[in-house]
Structure 1
Amino acid sequence: MFSFFKKQFISGTVLALSALAAGCSTDVDVYKPVSAPIVTNSVETTVVWSASVGSGVGNYYTRLTPAVDEVRVYAASRNGDVFALDRETGSREWHIDLDDEDENDDRRSARLSGGLVLQYGTLYVTSENGYLYAIDAEEGTLKWKAEVGQEVMASPAAGYDKVFVLTITGQLLAFNSETGEKIWANGNDGNTVSLRGDSNPVAISDQVVIYGTSNGKVNIVSQETGVLIHQLNVNNANGATRIARLNDVNSTPLSIMNEVYSVAFNGNFQGFLIPEFSSMWKRQYSSCLDLASDSTDIALTDVSGHVYSIIRVDGTQRWANTRLTYRGVTAPAYFKRHVIVGDYEGYVYLLDDATGEIKSMRMIDSSGLYAAPVSDDDYLYLQSRDGTLYAVDIEEKKEE
């Protein structure tokens, strides 16, 4: 149900806001999830392997996503477990429990919250306890840890020689990627009311780091100095109440060559050109989830659970799928000419990337899917709320 957290940060889920709105009526719950659609599958999904990666995230608003390289897939649970699994078989290669670290002794758990991020053989993950951890991806040993000093929910961003962490108050910090030494800290968005959750920062080359803010902007910051170079205005706050005026950019900015795309809650979806800092186009969509892209389009899940495909070049809508209204739909991913999303009941849906038609749905895990799917050239990786990781493959059904 609806609740306030530390420093009045509001839970960043549509279900929480929906519960508040629904409380105004005793007759009809307009935010009730629709029933799972009936789909005649024309695409087969195969679970290649599944493996436990700890206790998962439970009912917390924690979007821990797997990371993958040519050999392994890495996954973590909120309580501190981090695993490396063979990418082809799912067999365990190593495990480390960050809950064993001294700073977590008097806490409920390690409360891992942001990651996993893989760069140059090192895994990075952050925690709500205010720590950044660097783990050797080959050996599974802790290379270093750094105290951030504030709660962190966003995934870190790894550059060439620095790691960037965004705290829940909007402060951005840079750490040396080899030693964990803090280099600089900058900024604070100043908002006392915002969605619980943060835009993940994105490191672009060795020049800038970009991230969304709780006041409707995307900040562009120098990696070297931490100085704010520019702000892109994604959305302006409107409305009579603090809830109505929420316009957080919780979605991670999407960087493609010299383009940046960003969407705000209660607001707009925009494409920008960098370094001109000019708007390519602006469209009315509202989301707090990350975007996905292929060579021509951007996929977006909005606050109602509707999934859209937007043409990058001009921002026009290729298609919309509205069959999953209020089903707690995840952020999308592209995989083998499909847009993939999951939902709160644990179904995974394969939408045709050209039409938006649901080509297949399958119950994967009844504990539910919350984090966005992750894909490589071979498999789709889905992590359930209870901590089971699935490697899935798909293929068109053969006509009989």
Structure 2
Amino acid sequence: MKRLGLLIICLTLISLLAACGLGTDNTMPPSPLVQFQPTLQTNVLWSHNVGDGNGGYYLRLVPAASNGVIYAGSHKGVVTALDAKTGAVLWQVSVKQSITSGLVAGGGNAIYFGTGNAKLFALSMQNGQVLWKTAVADEILAQPQYVNGTVLVHTLSGNLAAYSAQDGHRIWSFDEDVPSLILHAAGQPQIAGNMVIAGFANGELVVLDINSGQVIWEQHVAYPTGDNPISQMVDITVNPVVVNGVVYAATYQGQIAAYSLDNGQLIWKHKISSYAGITANQSQIFVSDAKSRVWAFDEEAGAVNWRQLQLLGRGITGPVIYNDALVVADSYGYLHFMSLADGHFLARVSIGNGALAQPISYLGNLYVYTSTGTLLAIHSAKK
């Protein structure tokens, strides 16, 4: 109860600090949209309303994609399957519970997601029928992960558990202590070979054996500093990234760090604050920071290659790489396309409403799910 009480206090401070809160940074006005000459041709292929979106809460309801179909869930419990090319609705169901996580597709036959009342659902890809549901440790805000018949779930209370994709029975469970005051978000566990990589609200990065849940190594990406609970928050709410045998993780009010996947040895670190997301290609690590600046770091040495500062205060999502561009959505209804080489703007697209969920790249298109429940398919090409 103490943790939940403090979390409620944290969420009421959003308008003062944008600290626990995420989304737009109310301590600064949004940067105006700068003028530039677009070098990409962008087209909205289709858009469709699929529910109430995140219902006004900070929920990163990332859609799932599989076999030419996009699956999206809304806070009020509506799940919709749409043809990825045409946007035609294939089916729509209501699970009558609040969906609080993104969706993940797995095994060619099911999609998985979490709810606010601590349930993990499996729905048939074919018709949306509930295949099974099971109770978990706490509210699920992190997008589940699927690998080889196993669904991995990271709950708000610091529990990471593996469940059978066939019937939902629990295979193993791991608990990490979390502070009293935490961000209302969590990162999706990532997979590398037989390892599960997850970040927690205490700033700890943990690598576990996927079969047993035994810890292989763990590292503190950041330690709490400051003289009050808010300044001591160092949550890892972004999804870790693995590239070329190196794990990259970033914390709120802390740093981004690179570790050897094999043994957890620190390779480099850099001070930063991020809750939105990171992504990578084979040479650079890209980060959206807490003030909506976009950073590009050299993968090997950690040097800053470039920063894009003209989105300050716009509440951007984590970045995604799409068609040789880096793309973020913002909380004011725009998609921003940037050069991977130096961060300059390539294109901008109005999406009508803001987005919290990181866009996804699939079958040559970009899919964006807005906070009010509109799913859009966008295509870009060089002019």
TM range (shorter): over 0.9
CA separation of 1:49/1:21 partners in 2, compared to 1, >3 Å: closer, same or farther?
A: closer
Who is 2:326 aligned against?
339
- Higher mean alpha-carbon deviation, 30-39 vs 305-314, is at 30-39
- Decide whether the 8 Å contact of 2:137 with 2:159 is kept in 1: no
Who is 1:103 aligned against?
none
- Decide whether the 8 Å contact of 1:268 with 1:282 is kept in 2: yes
CA separation of 1:261/1:21 partners in 2, compared to 1, >3 Å: closer, same or farther?
A: closer
201, 217, 237: which one pairs with 1:250?
A: 237
CA separation of 1:225/1:389 partners in 2, compared to 1, >3 Å: closer, same or farther?
A: same
145, 148, 158: which one pairs with 1:157?
A: 145
Who is 2:212 aligned against?
225
Who is 2:164 aligned against?
176
Identity across aligned pairs (percent)?
28
Q: How much has 1:195 moved relative to structure 2?
A: 1.1
Q: Following superposition, which runs of at least 4 residues in structure 1 exceed 6 angstroms of deviation? A: 10-13
Who is 2:44 aligned against?
47
Q: How much has 1:335 moved relative to structure 2?
A: 0.6
Q: Given the alignment of the two structures, is residue 368 of structure 1 paired with residue 337 of structure 2, yes or no?
A: no
SS in 2 for 1:19: helix
Q: CA offsets, 1:71-108, max 9 Å, x none?
A: 11111111111111111101011122111xxxxxxxxx
Q: Given the alignment of the two structures, is residue 185 of structure 1 paired with residue 173 of structure 2, yes or no?
A: yes
Aligned pairs for 1:12-27 (under 5 A) are: 17=14, 19-20=16-17
AA matched with 1:327:
R
**TM-score, reference length from structure 2:** 0.92
- Decide whether the 8 Å contact of 1:150 with 1:168 is kept in 2: yes
- Decide whether the 8 Å contact of 1:273 with 1:280 is kept in 2: yes
AA matched with 1:124:
Y
Who is 2:195 aligned against?
208
74, 78, 85: which one pairs with 2:75?
A: 78
SS in 2 for 1:138: coil
**TM-score, reference length from structure 1:** 0.88
Q: How much has 1:140 moved relative to structure 2?
A: 2.2
AA matched with 1:6:
L
Who is 2:264 aligned against?
277
Q: How much has 1:30 moved relative to structure 2?
A: 5.1
Whole-angstrom distance in 2 between the partners of 1:311 and 1:192: 35
Unmatched runs of 5 consecutive residues or more in structure 2:
20-25
AA matched with 1:154:
A
Q: Given the alignment of the two structures, is residue 329 of structure 1 paired with residue 326 of structure 2, yes or no?
A: no
Whole-angstrom distance in 2 between the partners of 1:11 and 1:276: 38
AA matched with 1:382:
V
CA separation of 1:275/1:203 partners in 2, compared to 1, >3 Å: closer, same or farther?
A: same
Who is 1:379 aligned against?
365
- Decide whether the 8 Å contact of 2:243 with 2:282 is kept in 1: no
SS in 2 for 1:114: coil
53, 64, 67: which one pairs with 2:64?
A: 67
Whole-angstrom distance in 2 between the partners of 1:141 and 1:113: 19
CA RMSD in angstroms, aligned pairs only? 2.1
Count how many residue pairs are aligned between Structure 1 and Structure 2.
Answer: 375
